[in-house]
Structure 1
Amino acid sequence: MSNKMIFINLPVADLDRSKGFYEALGWKVNDDFTDQNAACIVVDDNICLMLLTKDFFTTFSKRPIADTRGSIGAAYALSLGSAGEVDVLTDAAVAAGAIEEVNDDKKAQEAQVGMHGRTFVDPDGYQWEPFYMEYPGV
């Protein structure tokens, strides 16, 4: 395991609903870092989501929490091992309550570089972009 990890801190409206959503994607809850204020969701060995109640999240910054349902501040792209994995993850997300966004212009650009990607927005308004791209020489 690399000594570098990324923890993405996300404020959520309903901690239990959000935990259930990400568990439906096949990601695991790390109970050692989960309580009534936060849940650690393990995406893989080097990527974790920290789902934080909005009240708890406000202790990390004096800036107001963005309304992610009405606007976008970031898109979380996640490289996967195959186009099939992209489809399985996105289909699971939609089945668990996400909304899939389809952008035909983006799909055409991706096809030109040999990429397969899809986009979904989770119940808290966060945009996820799982993708697969075969990297020459890798």
Structure 2
Amino acid sequence: MDRSIFISLPVTDLKTSIVFYEAIGFRNNALFTDNIAACMVWSDTISFMLLTHEKWRSFTCRPIPPVTSSEVMLFLSCPSREAVDALCDAAGAHGGTVDINPVAEHGFMYTRDLTDPDGHALGAMWMDAAAMADQG
């Protein structure tokens, strides 16, 4: 098996979260989805496991943080600036909060930060690798 990452996130409403993640470009892997968990695929090696609070508690006894806190911010790469904006538009239209931080415009890189319906912090990011190499 290739190296991959499965990021587990506790969610309040599994169906709402599935709709949100599909709207921003993830696809649901039905093989690992049921009424208490959903596997949402970003790429061949990156998936988010959305877990109901009940399922989450079967993995850890650590408390679920409030929606106003952040432990990590997960950045999702996009193929263009327009794709960053489209992802953020879809997030806002499906229960997320967009532009939780100022938009970052660095010429070679463009990012916008958002949260999903449960307050998990995400970033939409585009980077021009050729322009970035010219900076170094």
| Amino acid aligned to 1:78 | L
Q: Counterpart in 1 of 2:23?
A: 24
Confirm whether residue 82 of structure 1 aligns to residue 80 of structure 2: yes
Identity of aligned residues (%): 40
Superposition map of 1:18-97 within 5 A: 18-67=17-66, 69-97=67-95
Q: Distance in 1 between matches of 2:12 and 2:58?
A: 15
| Amino acid aligned to 1:32 | L
Q: Per-residue CA shift, 1:81-138, capped at 9, x if unaligned?
A: 211211111111111121112534x62xx42x6211111111000111011111235x
Alignment gaps of 5+ in structure 1? none
* Structure 1 outlier segments of 4+, above 6 Å: none
Partner SS for 2:84: helix
RMSD: 1.7
Partner SS for 2:86: helix
Q: 1:126 aligns with which of 105, 120, 128?
A: 120
Asked if structure 1 preserves the Cα contact closer than 8 Å seen for 2:27 and 2:40, the reply is yes
Q: Per-residue CA shift, 1:9-29, capped at 9, x if unaligned?
A: 000001111111111223211
Superposition deviation, residue 32 in structure 1? 0.5
Q: Distance in 1 between matches of 2:19 and 2:125?
A: 23
Alignment gaps of 5+ in structure 2? none
Aligned length: 131
